[in-house]
Amino acid sequence: MEAKTQPVGLPGWLRIVLIGRNPRRTLVRIAVLVAVVFLTRTYVLLPIRVKGPSMLPTYQEGGVNFVNRLAYHRSEPKRGDVVAIRLAGEHMMFMKRIIGLPGETVQFHDGHVLINGQILDEPYLARPCDWEGPPKTLAPGWYYVVGDNRSMPEMLHEEGMTPRYRIVGKILLCKNLFASSPP
């Protein structure tokens, strides 16, 4: 007498849905996917969640964006670029806009930013600014960064000079994903 044995485990259709017709190929696909995600996350695009009001109204709070780590691989940061600046590491970063380049003199005066004494055109600003300060000349390799929300008190707004090595990369999207609607 011959007895047919049924494989114990998942039903056939569920097995196909979960691990595919060819488990070995599925395993390779998963390994490739994990490697691609890991390499992209480590060397190309760093996902970030934006907290705080300093980049309003350009970037809303709570939204998601990405830092393009390769943006300055072959070129230097430019004025107007929104960049991520690391603190001790990359778990927490400042998101700021570059307004001053190495060697330039930056000053806040009469509601404007002056670069080497000339008013900087900043179409991204929505609210007036009343910050005042003495001119600062940037050393080689240093950039002046500030948020777009200049209506908030200056003492609560992190801005200033940062060395090049702290700039992790350029913000990829010009608007945050999944951000709450503007106030």
Partner 1 sequence: MQKSFRLIAALTVIGMGIWGARMLFPSPEQAIRSRLLNLARTLSFERKDGILSRGLKAQNFLECFTLDVVVSLDSRAYGARTLTGRDELQQALLVALNHEAGGGLKVEFLDINVTLGPDKQTAVADLTAKATVAGERDFLVQEFNFMLKKAGGQWLIYRVETVKTLSRREVIRRIPV
Instruction: Answer for the pair 120, 97: CB distance below 8 angstroms, yes or no.
Output: no
Distance between CA atoms of residues 44 and 63, nearest Å: 20
**Closest CB to partner 1 among 36 and 87?**
87
User: At closest approach, how far in Å is the CB of 146 from partner 1?
Assistant: 9
Note the residues at the interface with partner 1 (CB under 8 A).
51-52, 85, 87-92, 94, 96, 108, 130-134, 136, 145, 153-156, 158-162, 166
54 classed as catalytic: yes
Residue of 54, 78, 175, 181 marked active site: 54
3-class DSSP assignment, residue 87: coil
**Closest CB to partner 1 among 53 and 68?**
53
Residue of 96, 151, 170, 181 marked active site: 96
**Closest CB to partner 1 among 122 and 154?**
154
Instruction: Answer for the pair 105, 117: CB distance below 8 angstroms, yes or no.
Output: yes
Distance between CA atoms of residues 79 and 95, nearest Å: 14
**Beta partners for residue 66, in sequence order:** 47
Contacts of 88 (CB under 8 A, 6+ apart): none
User: At closest approach, how far in Å is the CB of 56 from partner 1?
Assistant: 13
User: At closest approach, how far in Å is the CB of 55 from partner 1?
Assistant: 14
User: At closest approach, how far in Å is the CB of 93 from partner 1?
Assistant: 9
Look up residue 1 and give its two tokens. Answer: 């007498």
3-class DSSP assignment, residue 157: coil
181 classed as catalytic: no
Q: Return the active site residues.
A: 54, 96
